[in-house]
Amino acid sequence: MINKIQRSAGFTLVETLFVLSVFFMIASITVFLLKPHFTKIEKEFFFSNLAADLYYAQIYAIAHQSEVTVNFLPDQQFYYFRSRHHQRHLLKRTYSKEILIYEGSINLNFRFLADGNINKFGSFFIRIHDNRYKLTFLLGKGRFYVVKER
């Protein structure tokens, strides 16, 4: 009877190593499967924030009847908005180092006028991982849209 109690005291080293190796295999597979989802969520989060922020700058310009300057600083990975009447930033947002923003037909600094229109129209480009997007501001009313380029 004493012999039987000693045998059921725990798991063997082989059993423990087998369970741990199965656990680590499942964990590593999960990490590789979640990576594409993370990049997709990162892209959607960036564009939804950017659109909301640009609408905020436009609405602020209309509501306060003042120009709002939009500045992108791609080398420091952030953008900010500043009203002509305020010294501080209305909004400052950082973004991932995986996101590259660069000029196209429009500079990376522009203004929303007091009537909500943009002072320049054109496009600039955004690269997220291996995908390139073009953000275009239309002439009049400050409307904009984003298109994925091939």
pTM of the model: 0.76
Q: Where are the domains of the chain?
A: 8-149
pLDDT tens, residue by residue, 11-25:
788 888 889 898 888
pLDDT tens, residue by residue, 28-50:
887 777 677 778 888 899 999 99
Sequence-ordered list of residues with C-beta below 8 angstroms from that of 84, at least 6 positions apart, any chain: 66, 67, 68, 69
- pLDDT score recorded for residue 3: 55
**Buried b vs exposed e over 29-41: b needs ≥16 C-beta within 10 Å?**
eeeeeeeeeebee
- Residue range 88-101: mean pLDDT, rounded: 92
Amino acid type, 9: A
Residue 5 scores a pLDDT above 60:
no
**Buried b vs exposed e over 77-86: b needs ≥16 C-beta within 10 Å?**
bebbbbbeee
- pLDDT-based confidence at residue 94 (cuts at 50, 70, 90): very high
Residue 87 scores a pLDDT above 90:
no
Residue 75 scores a pLDDT above 60:
yes
In SS3 terms, the chain reads as CHHHHHHCCCCCHHHHHHHHHHHHHHHHHHHHHHHHHHHHHHHHHHHHHHHHHHHHHHHHHHHHCCCEEEEEEHHHCEEEEEECCCCCCCEEEECCCCEEEEECCCCCEEEECCCCCECCCEEEEEEECCEEEEEEECCCCCCEEEEEEC
- pLDDT score recorded for residue 29: 81
- pLDDT-based confidence at residue 122 (cuts at 50, 70, 90): very high
How many Å apart are CA 57 and CA 64, to the nearest integer? 11
CATH fold group of domain 8-149: minor pseudopilin epsh fold (3.55.40)
Please report the sign of the dihedral spanned by the C-alpha atoms of residue 108, residue 112, residue 117, residue 119.
Answer: negative
